[in-house]
């Protein structure tokens, strides 16, 4: 006879842990199943660790809503839990006059999303802020920041476990089936077993669509196709010439090779994006010349030999090459017809920033109306 559990969260990335914390603190019995040996071993540990303000997402989209709400909650949570972070701000820069209208569009869109602190800065002020960067125009986002994502995940895990949740690692979910008022999950690993679950939250990140497809009863047309996009990061050697994030105006549906600064002051450039067929984190060293070319458009002082290959990250996109970017997709019973199952698809950037607001969203979907202890209010 299978073990019976109230709520199972599949995936111990930042979003899965935020959901587990939220449900456990509302008094639900929660089991987190993670295929790897620890928390955050997928997309959650291979990103730029940026706290996004909520600038780039279409007004009215779920991404815009949960990014802005999540950013407020995340800053408050970091302060209360002493999670390393800094609100260092970001400059969005146009290197040519013909890019200025796009900057104006970003600002107007951000304001529609509830980001009310963006401001134009003069070329003189921008040069004072970042002397190494060339500008035709610039907008400053003081709400953008950086965070130690691993410390965040450990805090979320700790809160969840202190509230009674259990995290089990090396426990891949191999499939499942809907059985009336519960869902049976088949769990592999060294001690395979089946678990009957009242609620299943599929927060498996890169492999969420594949997991949904392995749950018998989920209609195939509700499971989006996964498109993997790999991003590369190069580190800057020597003394860091930047004090904040610097993002050039995007030339397509991605944000270009931009400047990120980590909590130690180390500067990274990235990510570019290239489409790949499978999850493969190998570094493509042949991209280095393209990085130099892209960076020198706004940082012409970049010296030859100053870039060092650093790491890669993969985003699980649910739209492919040439298609417009997709919103976050969260399916409940009204979409797939299976009570108790919630599938999260395409939770890429700004997933880290949005994690606590996404947890609220999922909690509401399963009928939890108890307020979170971290309200979504400005500091």
What residues are paired with 315 via a beta bridge?
229
Question: What's the residue count for the chain?
Answer: 379
CATH for 90-142+226-317, among 3.30.1330.20, 3.30.9.10, 3.40.50.720, 3.90.260.10?
Answer: 3.30.9.10
Residue with tokens 């880290």: 352
Classify 3-46+150-224+326-365 by CATH class. Answer: alpha beta
φ and ψ of 153, to 5 deg: -65, -40
Question: Which residues does 19 contact at the CB level (< 8 Å), separation at least 6?
Answer: 9, 201, 203, 358, 359, 362, 363
**Peptide bond just before 271 cis, omega within 30 deg:** yes
- Cα separation, 117 vs 33, whole angstroms: 40
For 311-350, letters b (16+ CB in 10 Å) and e give bbbbbbbbeeeeeebbbbbbbbeebbebebbbbbbbbbbb
Give ranges for CATH 3.30.9.10 in the chain: 90-142+226-317
The one-digit pLDDT tens for each residue of the chain (379 residues) are 578 999 999 999 999 999 999 999 999 999 999 999 999 999 999 999 999 999 999 999 999 999 999 999 999 999 999 999 999 999 999 999 999 999 999 999 999 999 999 999 998 999 999 999 998 999 999 999 999 999 999 999 999 999 999 999 999 999 999 998 899 999 999 999 999 999 999 999 999 999 999 999 999 999 999 999 999 999 999 888 999 999 999 765 556 799 999 999 999 999 988 999 999 999 999 999 999 999 999 999 999 999 999 999 999 899 999 899 999 999 999 999 999 999 999 999 999 999 999 999 999 999 998 888 876 654 4
Q: What angle do CA 128, 105, 94 make, to 5 degrees?
A: 35
Question: With helix as H, strand as E and coil as C, how does the chain read?
Answer: CCEEEEEEEECCCHHHHHHHHHHHHCCCCEEEECCCCCCCCCHHHCCCCEECCCCCCCCCCHHHHHHHHHHHHHHHHHHHHCCCEECCCEEEEECCHHHHHHHHHHHHHHHHCCCCCCEEECHHHHHHHCCCCCCCEEEEECCCEEECHHHHHHHHHHHHHHCCCEEECCCCEEEEEEECCEEEEEECCCCCEEEEEEEEEECCHHHHHHHHHCEECCCHHHCCCCEEEEEEEEEECCCCCCCCEEEECCCCCCCCCEEEECCCCCEEEECCCEEECCCCCCCCHHHHHHHHHHHCCCCCCCCCCCEEEEEEEEEEECCCCCCCCCCCEEECHHHHCCCCEEEEECCCCCHHHHHHHHHHHHHHHCCCCCCCCCCCCCC
Report yes or no: 298 and 133 within 8 Å, Cβ to Cβ.
yes
Comma-separated ranges of CATH 3.50.50.60 domains in the chain = 3-46+150-224+326-365
Give the residue carrying structure tokens 């805090």. Answer: 155
**Cβ count within 10 A of residue 228:** 17
Cα separations in angstroms, 285 against 149, 231, 234, 259: 26, 12, 10, 19
The pLDDT of residue 94 is 94
Indicate the angle between helix axes 351-365 and 149-162, nearest 10 degrees: 20
Enumerate the β-bridge partners of residue 147.
85
| CA–CA distance, 313 with 43 (Å, rounded to integer) | 6
Q: What is the pTM of this model?
A: 0.96
CB atoms within 10 A of CB 283: 14
Q: Hey, how many other C-beta atoms are within 10 angstroms of the C-beta on 373?
A: 12
| CA–CA distance, 331 with 362 (Å, rounded to integer) | 10
Look at residue 378 in the predicted model and tell me its pLDDT: 46
């Amino acid at each position: 006879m299978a073990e019976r559990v109230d709520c199972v969260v599949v995936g111990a990335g930042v979003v899965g842990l935020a959901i587990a914390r939220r449900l456990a603190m509302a008094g639900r019995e929660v089991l987190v199943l993670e295929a790897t040996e620890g928390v955050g071993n997928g997309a959650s540990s291979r990103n730029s660790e940026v706290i996004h303000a909520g600038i780039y997402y279409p007004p009215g989209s779920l991404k815009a809503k949960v990014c802005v709400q999540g950013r407020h909650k995340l800053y408050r949570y970091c302060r209360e839990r002493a999670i390393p972070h800094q609100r260092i701000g970001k400059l969005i820069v146009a290197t040519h006059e013909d890019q200025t209208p796009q900057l104006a569009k970003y600002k107007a869109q951000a304001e529609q999303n509830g980001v009310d602190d963006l401001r134009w800065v003069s070329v003189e002020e921008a040069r004072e802020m970042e002397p190494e960067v060339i500008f035709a125009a610039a907008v400053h986002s003081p709400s953008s920041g950086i965070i130690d994502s691993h410390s965040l995940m450990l805090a979320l895990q700790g809160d969840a476990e202190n509230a009674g949740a259990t995290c089990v690692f090396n426990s891949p979910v191999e499939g499942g089936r809907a059985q009336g008022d519960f869902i049976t999950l088949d769990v592999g690993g060294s001690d395979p077993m089946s678990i009957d679950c009242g609620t299943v939250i599929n927060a498996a990140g890169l492999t969420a669509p594949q997991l949904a497809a392995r749950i018998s009863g989920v209609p195939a047309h509700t499971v989006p196709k996964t498109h993997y996009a790999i991003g590369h990061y190069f580190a800057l050697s020597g003394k860091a010439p930047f004090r904040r994030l610097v993002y050039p105006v995007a030339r397509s549906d991605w944000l270009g090779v931009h400047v990120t600064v980590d909590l130690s002051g180390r500067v990274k450039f990235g990510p570019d994006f290239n489409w790949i067929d499978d999850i493969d984190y190998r570094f493509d060293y042949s991209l280095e010349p393209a990085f130099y070319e892209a960076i020198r458009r706004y940082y012409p002082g970049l010296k030859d030999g100053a870039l060092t290959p650093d790491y890669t990250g993969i985003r699980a996109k649910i739209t492919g090459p040439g298609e417009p970017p997709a919103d976050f997709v969260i399916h409940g019973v009204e979409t797939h017809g299976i009570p108790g199952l919630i599938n999260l698809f395409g939770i890429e950037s700004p997933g880290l920033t949005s994690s606590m607001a996404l947890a609220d969203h999922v909690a509401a979907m399963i009928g939890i109306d108890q307020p979170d202890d971290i309200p979504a209010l400005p500091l």
